[in-house]
A and B are shown apart, each in its own frame.
Chain A
Amino acid sequence: MNVNRTVSLLASILLGVAGCGGGGGSDEPPPPPPPPPITKAEAFQLLNQASFGATEDEAQAVISMRPEQWIDDQMRKPPSLQLPHMLTLPPPQFMGQLHVDRVDIWFRNVLLEDDQLRQRVAFALSEIMVVSQLGALQGRPFAVADFYDVLVQNAFGNYRDLIEEVTLHPAMGVYLSMLGNEKPNPALNIRPDENYARELMQLFSIGLVELNIDGSVVLDGNNQPIPTYDQEIIEGFAHVFTGWTWLGSPSFGSGRVPVASQYFPMELWPDFHDTGEKTLLDGVVLPAGQTGEQDLADALDNIFNHPNVGPFMAIRLIQRLTTSNPSPGYVRRVAETFNDNGFGVRGDLGAVVKAILLDPEARPALAMEIDGKLKEPLIRLTQLFKAYDATSESGRYPLVASYILFGQGPLQSPSVFNFFSPFFAPPGEIRDSSLVAPELEIATEYLNTLFTNYMFFQTFGLNHTNEDLEEDQIYINLQEEMDIAADIDGLIDMVADKLLGGEISDPLRTEMAGMLALLPETDPVLRAAEAVYFVVTSPEYAYQR
């Protein structure tokens, strides 16, 4: 497999694909020739990486603007948020009910709004810096919605600002129990809560072991990985993260707080903050006597400046957006962009996203079998929804059971470890080749069958010809397919254009043609549904090139 990767890169070079991103080289390249026009399939590829599903209209926009300008244009779009919508709703009977509306506004934003790239990056971040409705936040829907807004607003911002907003957000405070964490009380054997300290480092920033700039693991003299932190450092950070609770809370630990506390940063109660010395990463020791705010700022700077953050975030974001198995060179180019955006700024996430999407490895000239990734179930769903104008009579998308139906839903992870692990490698050729396929962890026999069956009902039952739909049932529009249903090849071409960027495999085309010929020409909706069903349940649709 690694040989194939090398071949792929060699081929890219031989075929003259322009390198980009990264920096770090000292040779000034000659001014590049104008890039060749991109094909519709390439536009689909970019859109499936950078949006919630390619559509024909958006593909035309990418083709006419060219990818880089399309990305720049996307980055200028104003953010679509959740909280403003949540605040217009009448008070619910019980708080948890509002998660239905939270999921509804998530779908509306990702299906109908223009800030597609921002939403897609926010979704990626929500799978790295995880909070979940499932658990202690069930009764805090405003906090969960506002946390997502923080990710949306910072998607192209600076990582240092993002981790500060994440750290002080009450949703994270509740989820990883920094909220209400207090200084030690040795007489009662009480010491600070280590939960946030540990997961912030392991999952949100630096990971467990020292990394090289290209994402490879640093080995010591005995060929062993080097841990990034130990228990003493975790305890140091745990002491830093003491003293914070809900804004306007009547008492430090708990008590009834105003609903608005859910969407304002936590507040410091100095008496509950530990003022002792604190050992952090890289031998840094915070002096005793600092305020809670000083400790927090210093500790987040300490993490932010750790050399792991660049390669760590590069790998995580590359895996969410473009490919499961980036080459070391791809990771290095993106990590270098994280370390310096070209203007001396560290942590510029907008630059990182651009480097990921414009890297030659994101659109290899000669695709190899490890390029790309599996689509997450939610992305498979939204791509269908976008391509077929899914809506409901009420205009709502109340898919709050998404995590049950698809094994995945917006901010519905089973734990802080996300829906799947970045290291997941199923038995067989993927594991044997030391490769990974994270999304395959939730493509189980059970969840694949559930998804396939959902697609069966969505195509054959929940379409615009159904006159018995309930007002909240989401249906797709098959009219264009019905209009052409007498022409089997034309029908297949149309569905392949909408869902696969026009690139359909011969076996899938053959099987679809065979099945469609068995269906009566006089029943166009059946033919239309069959065609869409076959594509959205196929392995090639599940794959993101």
Chain B
Amino acid sequence: MKTLNRRDFLRTSGAAALFAATPGLAYSQVVGGGASFTDYRALVCVFMFGGNDSYNMLVPNTGPEYAAYATSRQNLALLQADLLPITPASLGTPDFGLHPSMGGVQGLFQSGDAAFVTNVGPLVEPTTKDQYFSKSVSLPPQLFSHNDQQDQWTSLRGNVPSKTGWAGRMADLIRDGVAGQQMATNASLFGSNLFQSADETVAYVMGPNGPLQFEGFSTTPGELLNEQRLAFNRVVDAQYDTIYERGFAAVQRRAIDAADTVTTAIDNAPVLNTVFPASQLGTQLATVARLIAVRDELQMQRQIFFVATGGFDSHDDQNLNQPGLLGGISEAISAFHAATAELNIADSVTTFTQSDFGRTLTSNGDGTDHAWAGNQLIVGGAVNGGDLYGSYPLLEIGGPEDVGGGRMIPSTSADQYAATLARWFGIPEVDLDVVAPNLGNFAQRDLGFMIV
């Protein structure tokens, strides 16, 4: 497997390293914030709510490793003959296979546009099984709980609760450099989320089909509906006595401000030939593609999109539901990548997955329960694709990574995963520790799956 020894952080100056070592104080914040950008880049987070059973997404395809998998998973194991084989570049042999529903991703992997990071999850510091049980390392609290592990993935604060997410912190770090953007750096098509929550910037939440315009408002002077719009605006902008009214009015204000600009731009977007699946995720990603298509009209330079789909909490009927779940991910992401290629922007758009947690290797009869580490997928023209990054454990119950029931300890941290994406996005080396606060606890600051 590919290992990366790139030591980018050595490039940074001593002074910068000093600033970076001061908690909460990043170099670019000190020098007055955020280089401006000459190019366009977008990150697209696909969140699989419920906890994806990703050891059935990416499966060992060699004799002993498959046998261990099949013994552990019993009635949940995929047949080896059904796997879609993939050949990681660093191995040269088809040692892994994908879930049979993921033909689209298989094609992307073999063409070098997709990679996996394996056995990755939230950690505070490197953790062994002995350390886990002796509690001699700091651990993320409330492991195996949905919302806590979602928060850990998206905030990366590890053992302390966080009010900001790593996408939010990235937007804050670059805010001065993208001051001309007509839309917020962070846009969600799946509601409010911690991932994009920030101290200085606010994510814009639109619908699966994009922003909505307000009914009954005109901008033509003299028209009654223009007066209505103005009066409505003045009500929104009035002084209110409570935090609740002010919070509500602030959302209305942002909705009004963004609706016209963004909807006008998106209405003028070129029609894409790429066909998206009619799923919830397909609809959201089709909208993201249209927004990316009008990036110049909106003067966008850096964007982070949050899209999501649910149903992955497969306590029941896993064998029945998994083909639809994983097939849905594969089809929507493949279509989205094709759309970015059609727009000649594939090298500037990186799609990546997150999920609550991996799931137990053992079965509860017809499903699986909450666990910890899992595998994540990265797709785009700037991905060092066709390979796996991180180590893939032997999937045996009671093995060195299993803390019980087939709950695997991550061997790569979500901080490393995020920092690798953040560096590609244009976050300076010294600010990566702001994005991923526990990054300093891990030797490898860049997992190498992005071409930078």
Contacts and interface: CB of A to CB of B under 8 A. Distances in A.
Nearest to A450: B212
Contact of B146 (A417, A512, A515): A417
B258 interface: yes
B144 interface: yes
B231 A194 contact: no
Contacts of A370: 242-243
Contact of A453 (B215, B244, B317): B215
A421 B148 CA distance: 12
A456 B216 CA distance: 7
Contact of A443 (B73, B251, B315, B366): B251
A452 B255 CA distance: 11
Interface string A509-540: 00110110011000000000010001001111
B199 A191 contact: no
B202 A427 contact: yes
Contacts of B214: 449, 452-453, 456
A233 B38 CA distance: 55
Interface string A421-464: 10011111111010101001111111111101100110010000
Nearest to B234: A511
Interface in A213-246: 225, 227, 231, 234
A208 interface: yes
Interface string B201-216: 0101111000111111
Contacts of A17: none
Nearest to B142: A208
Contacts of A20: none
A290 interface: no
A194 B366 CA distance: 13
A511 B235 contact: yes
Given A231-B144, A445-B255, A193 B367 contact: yes
B247 A440 contact: yes
B163 A425 contact: yes
A435 B243 contact: yes
B423 interface: no
B179 interface: no
B405 A543 contact: no
B363 A136 contact: no
B254 interface: yes
Given A372-B242, A511-B234, A445 B206 contact: yes
A542 to B, nearest CB: 5
Contact of B245 (A433, A448, A519, A539): A539
Given A190-B364, A195-B315, A540 B198 contact: no
A202 B367 CA distance: 21
Given A373-B244, A444-B191, A538 B224 contact: no
Contact of A424 (B50, B192, B246): B192
A428 B146 contact: no
A427 B364 contact: no
A450 B205 CA distance: 12
Interface in B230-263: 231-232, 234-236, 238-252, 254-255, 258-259
A412 to B, nearest CB: 13
Contacts of B73: 189
Interface in B241-289: 241-252, 254-255, 258-259
Contacts of B147: 417, 421
A188 interface: yes
A39 interface: no
A540 B247 CA distance: 11
A332 interface: no
Given A437-B247, A444-B205, A540 B192 contact: no
Contacts of B245: 539-540, 542-543
A461 B233 CA distance: 22
B366 A253 contact: yes
Contact of A539 (B188, B197, B249, B369): B249
B365 A460 contact: no
A508 interface: yes
B310 A515 contact: no
A456 B215 CA distance: 7
Contacts of A202: 145
Contacts, number: 212
B247 A428 contact: yes
B316 A198 contact: no
A446 B192 CA distance: 10
A26 interface: no
A210 interface: no
Given A449-B212, A508-B235, A191 B405 contact: yes
A190 B224 CA distance: 68
A369 B243 contact: yes
Interface string B138-163: 00011011111000000000000001
A33 interface: no
Nearest to B184: A445
Contact of B363 (A188, A374, A442): A188
Contact of A428 (B72, B238, B250, B405): B250
Given A415-B49, A460-B216, A507-B238, A182 B365 contact: yes
B65 interface: no
Given A136-B316, A446-B206, A189 B397 contact: yes
Nearest to B209: A446
Contacts of A369: 241-243
A539 B245 CA distance: 5
B404 interface: yes
A156 to B, nearest CB: 28
B204 A445 contact: yes
Contacts of A372: 242, 244
Interface string A403-415: 0000100000011
Contact of B364 (A191, A443, A450, A508): A191
A251 B163 CA distance: 48
Contact of B248 (A433, A446, A514, A542): A542
B371 to A, nearest CB: 10
Interface string A167-180: 00000000011001
Nearest to B200: A427
A270 to B, nearest CB: 17
Given A431-B163, A448-B252, A543 B206 contact: no
A189 B399 CA distance: 14
B297 interface: no
B324 to A, nearest CB: 13
B74 interface: yes
A192 interface: yes
Nearest to B253: A445
B131 interface: no
Interface of A: 1, 135-136, 176-177, 180-182, 188-195, 198, 202, 208, 225, 227, 231, 234, 253, 324, 367, 369-374, 407, 414-415, 417, 421, 424-431, 433, 435, 437, 440-450, 452-453, 456-457, 460, 505, 507-508, 511-512, 514-515, 518-519, 530, 534, 537-540, 542-543
Given A208-B148, A444-B192, A543-B248, 10 more contacts: A189-B73, A208-B145, A372-B242, A415-B49, A426-B192, A430-B247, A445-B204, A445-B254, A518-B227, A534-B235
Q: Which 4 A-B pairs have the closest CB atoms?
A: A444-B205, A507-B238, A445-B255, A193-B364
11 contacts: A136-B317, A177-B315, A193-B369, A417-B147, A431-B163, A443-B251, A450-B212, A456-B215, A537-B232, A539-B240, A542-B245
